[in-house]
Structure 1
């Protein structure tokens, strides 16, 4: 006998209103499932698999959920700046973005602060400032 599954699907408080058509919306989807290891989930998207650990049960061989979230934000900074620099003819040779998120014991489910540090090689300070401003504006 198969175990009963409960499925909940809803947009919640972030529902789309105001005449937005489906062609105006890009939808990214990830499916996460239990992995048979307590505190670890298997996430799949576009044929790729990533295992993520609960931040309260981190293991040495996988990112935690928080690290993956922060990695998504910092890698967005790298790729957006790289592409903008190339389109603008700015000679970037390397970009490193370090992101740190601090959470309090009272609210471990929220980042109290997030700090990003951008290191951009091959450009002047003015060019680096412009590239980071472009990232912050998007």
Structure 2
């Protein structure tokens, strides 16, 4: 469980408080449970892996009509023997976000909605010594 509403600003300097910022965090964010599941199949020295992750929106209500949940899918192949190992993994992540690139003193500030999709590949090679 991740308690986003429990995040707090603080300072060691006397007289500096972040009461309004901490109140805003508590009003906007909530606790969520991030889910991850995965598995590996082994055949002799070979490995095949797959996984899934789901991270719910940390906001109590949708901001600007957008749910910021994130989903990830991963897969990988590996080989291991007594002298070395190698792994190749690919992770695909998708989610939405929004922001205002600049703010004017009006309700008409432009809003940018982003549909994020990321594919990441990782190659690992290791030697036992």
Compute the TM-score of the two structures, normalised by the length of structure 1. Answer: 0.25
Q: Higher RCO, 1 or 2 (CA under 8 Å, sep at least 6)?
A: 2
- Greater per-residue helix proportion: 1
Query: Which has more radius of gyration?
Result: 2
TM-score, structure 2 length as denominator?
0.27
| Structure holding more strand per residue | 2
